[in-house]
Chains A and B, each alone.
Chain A
Amino acid sequence: MAGFLYMSDLNAAVSPTVGSSSLTYAIVVRCGPHQQSQALSAFQFTKEVLLQGHEVLRVFFYQQGVHIASRLRVVPQDELNLAVLWQQLSLDYDLELGVCIAAALQSGIVDQQEASRYELGSDSLASQFTLVGLGQLAAASAECNRLVSFGGN
């Protein structure tokens, strides 16, 4: 019986889409808020994936993308505030927004714990975002059916 279960697990790994059209995604955002159209594409793609009933394991913000997670940016009223868009999506779909901690610390994006650890006087990470290690990107890439990355060039 154990062997049988093992075999069925193998089949599932080879063809994850059999019996269901739903896929598991991991999203990497490497473009910052200054690359507005690229950064917006990442958001719109993720939203569409969720709307179509797929699962998003995690959105991982890396390189310039970490700046999206700052709660200290002031966006002109007629421009889109990407942090707010992501926050709302996170609330609506219980979506995990992971920010690379090494890149974030270098960019002045810190949560309360890091702010007190380094005696910075203030935190700057927007709510719904969490600081995580680069390993969370590797873990997501291992688990997902599709890894989609935005920006970086």
Chain B
Amino acid sequence: MSCLMTLSHAPYGSQDAKESLDVALVLSAFEQQPAVLFLDEGVLQLLPTSQTPSSHKHIGKIVSALEMYDINELWVEQESLDRFSLVADQLSQTVNVIARGQVAQLCAQYDQHLVF
């Protein structure tokens, strides 16, 4: 059962980013490594940051753990990067950049699609 997860929440301000990454790691622990698509404010989860707001876990550390959990298929939507004037080189992980027009096609390749 192949799974794509879409993460569209900003890293801090709520527990949403943390809770969605937790699902990715647990799926992987159950041998169902999902592909992950970072969308909208979700792309900010990939920004390398040294400091985190107090009371929040370091999202960057969880994101860098994805690779250890064999979650290697990371996608980032081009338009979301543009919105924050980012380029893929600035991100903490090696990612595949995909245009908005191609996202539906990407989704169609997976049995399941979990949207956060």
Contacts and interface: CB of A to CB of B under 8 A. Distances in A.
A109 interface: no
A134 B114 CA distance: 14
Given A135-B30, A142-B32, A152-B116, 4 more contacts: A62-B23, A135-B26, A141-B112, A152-B115
Nearest to B27: A138
Interface residues of A, number: 15
A140 B30 CA distance: 11
A134 B22 contact: yes
B82 interface: no
Interface of A: 62-63, 102-103, 133-135, 137-139, 141-142, 147, 149, 152
Contacts of B106: none
A149 B30 CA distance: 19
B29 A141 contact: no
B89 interface: no
